Chain A
Amino acid sequence: MAKITAGVGSSHVPLLGVAVDQGKWQDDYFGPIFKGYEWTREWEAREKPDVVILVYNDHASAFDANIIPTFAIGCGEHYKSADEGWGPRPVPDVEGHADLAWHIAQSLILDDFDMTIINEMDVDHGLTVPLSMMFGQPEKWPVKVVPLAVNVVTYPVPSGNRCWALGEAIARAVESFPEDLNVQIWGTGGMSHQLQGPRAGLLNREWDNKFLDMLASNNDDVRHIPHIEYLRETGSEGIEMVMWLIMRGALGKSVKTLNRHYHIPCSNTAIGHIVLEPTD
């Protein structure tokens, strides 16, 4: 039986990918960020998950303005790194787990989540930067990936409550997959940042840490934070944090925090990550 053994929340700032690709991760600017991920990299190497369900948002790479799926699941065999305007990141192709992905997609639809299914797409920094943060620069990624893309760009984006409930449904789907698989779920994006308009550059250390506290707690209050609160408190792009709720919802009622890290700034963004283990 497949099982979700852990959840990771992590920022996916594109500049972190640049730091890895150009070997700058130990310099004065990036050093403290990568140091915060050190424990998690070692933990991942020990845990050796078979599959990561990687919740992220596409940044106008695979999807243009034409089609806007609220929740889309990648059911393909492999995905290439997207050209986001300066050539694709020099990272290995991402290998999918089509059997598990299709199983999850079918189960979710029966469970009232009307998923969009994607067979072919390129994946951008939203997906490849977290892989680099957790696994460094291997020849081949050590896990298979089920991409789960969420619309957090065009409003209304899904509510925190719906994201949490989707996570719960994903956990049920994984548990009914017959093969023995060690599965992790990652929620990515955030934390506070605003990339547009005169208010650009807004960061909120206090709110971000309150959010991490809520994720680490054994109640589900965090699912009811309204969009307007994310927008006011964490900048227009802080809304990406609703994707962390899919991860948290998949872990069940109670969790144990294995690692937690927060750093300001990286480019325009507050960097955070948290590693949680379900303890139900």
Chain B
Amino acid sequence: MTDSNATKPQHQNIHEYLAEFEDIPGTRVFTAKRARMGYWINQFAMSLMKPDNRERFKADERAYLDEWKISEEAKQALLKRDYNALLDLGGNVYFLSKLFSSDGLPFAEAVSTMTDMTWPEYRQMMLEGGRKPEGNRSIKGGY
């Protein structure tokens, strides 16, 4: 049997591991902390995979949201489709994408709303090779 432990790197401290994530510009890594905070936002979004729930949500968004244990701040962000605010409140993009689809919005167009670009500008950036990593890797390091 191969001894995989032989090549295992040294034990990594969870606090150091998590702290590095805060150094990435314009990015909210979906940590356990965010997953806990956004649990009901994500479960609400997940519920939109069922056609009956989508219909009820579309008929009265506020009333449907009131059925969930979601803070008023998060409800407002959901009603406004403020996806950056939702990421801050623990929303995850794969869950929130159920809301994109319920709105009939292409995934990339919904993603573009989280940037400082319009959808045509964002689409053009992608066609030209995407956002460059240079200057976008580290806040502290600026590289």
Contact residue among B4, B7, B31, B42 (Cβ-Cβ distance under 8 Å from A60): B42
Residue on A with the closest CB to B18? A155
Contact residue among B87, B98, B102, B122 (Cβ-Cβ distance under 8 Å from A197): B87
- A interface, CB within 8 angstroms of B: 14-15, 59-61, 64-66, 68, 82-86, 111, 153-156, 161, 164-165, 168, 172, 192, 194-205, 207, 220, 223-224, 227-228, 231-233, 236, 264-265, 267-268, 270
1/0 per residue, CB under 8 A from A, across B8-20: the answer is 1100001001101
Tell me, yes or no, whether B95 is within 8 Å of chain A by CB: yes
Contact B27 A224 (CB under 8 A): no
Contact B46 A60 (CB under 8 A): yes
Contact B114 A197 (CB under 8 A): yes
**CB-defined contacts of B102 to chain A, threshold 8 Å:** 85
What is the count of residue pairs linking A and B with beta-carbon distances less than 8 angstroms?
Answer: 168
Instruction: Spot the interface stretch: B58-66, B70-78, B123-131.
Output: B123-131
Bound-state CA distance A265–B137 (Å) is 20
Expressed in whole angstroms, the minimum distance between the Cβ of B39 and any Cβ of chain A is: 5
Contact A85 B7 (CB under 8 A): no
Bound-state CA distance A264–B35 (Å) is 31
Contact A264 B130 (CB under 8 A): yes
- B interface, CB within 8 angstroms of A: 1-2, 4, 7-9, 14, 17-18, 20-21, 24-32, 35, 38-39, 42-43, 45-46, 48-51, 54, 83-84, 87, 92-95, 97-98, 100-102, 107-108, 111-112, 114-116, 122, 125-127, 129-133, 136-138
Expressed in whole angstroms, the minimum distance between the Cβ of A241 and any Cβ of chain B is: 15
Contact residue among A155, A196, A268 (Cβ-Cβ distance under 8 Å from B21): A155
Which DSSP category, helix, strand, loop or mixed, fits chain A's interface?
loop
**CB-defined contacts of B125 to chain A, threshold 8 Å:** 201
Known: A172-B1, A203-B130, A232-B137. A64 touches B108 (CB 8 A): no
**CB-defined contacts of A111 to chain B, threshold 8 Å:** 1
**CB-defined contacts of B27 to chain A, threshold 8 Å:** 194, 196-197, 199, 231, 236
**CB-defined contacts of B132 to chain A, threshold 8 Å:** 202
Contact B108 A85 (CB under 8 A): no
Bound-state CA distance A202–B24 (Å) is 12
Residue on B with the closest CB to A220? B7
Residue on B with the closest CB to A124? B94
Expressed in whole angstroms, the minimum distance between the Cβ of A267 and any Cβ of chain B is: 5
Contact B21 A168 (CB under 8 A): no
Contact A64 B24 (CB under 8 A): no
Besides A65-B38, A195-B111, 10 other CB < 8 A contacts?
Answer: A60-B95, A65-B46, A82-B49, A153-B30, A153-B92, A199-B136, A200-B115, A236-B24, A267-B108, A268-B130
Contact A228 B21 (CB under 8 A): yes
Known: A60-B94, A161-B9. A201 touches B30 (CB 8 A): no
Contact B49 A84 (CB under 8 A): yes
Bound-state CA distance A41–B122 (Å) is 32
